[in-house]
Amino acid sequence: EPEVTQTPSHQVTQMGQEVILRCVPISNHLYFYWYRQILGQKVEFLVSFYNNEISEKSEIFDDQFSVERPDGSNFTLKIRSTKLEDSAMYFCASSLETEVEAFFGQGTRLTVV
């Protein structure tokens, strides 16, 4: 069964460093998303991406964040200068269209120290 895969599963980084979280969405999907979940809190939407453009983003997704689809298979989330409060589980998701079922990856646990 096709699945969304994320790497790495866990990343530890020092405050102020740049991190890139990687995702391989399901191959025929056209819409891609990033969400995050701070420990003990709700899953929060960060950004949606379609046709090489951001289609929707949340207030959390400020200038420190960027997304890219560098080739036909990968979808990345970059955090330019990490803060302690960026520590969270980051989930990538993909869907065929915006209004149908979204499938999530297993997540990358980001720890900023």
Binding site for another protein (CB under 8 A): 6, 31, 33, 35, 41-45, 48, 50, 55-56, 58, 89, 91, 93, 95, 97-107, 109
Least distance in angstroms from the C-beta of 106 to another protein: 4
Tokens matching residue 48: 């949606």
Residue 53 Cβ vs another protein, minimum distance, rounded to whole Å:
10
Rounded least distance, CB 50 to another protein, Å: 7
SS (H, E, C) 55-70: EEECCCCCCCEEEECC
Which phi-psi region, left, alpha or beta, contains residue 85 (left: φ > 0; alpha: ψ -120 to 50)? alpha
Half-sphere exposure of 75 (CA within 13 A, CB side): 28
CB nearer to another protein: give 16 or 99.
99
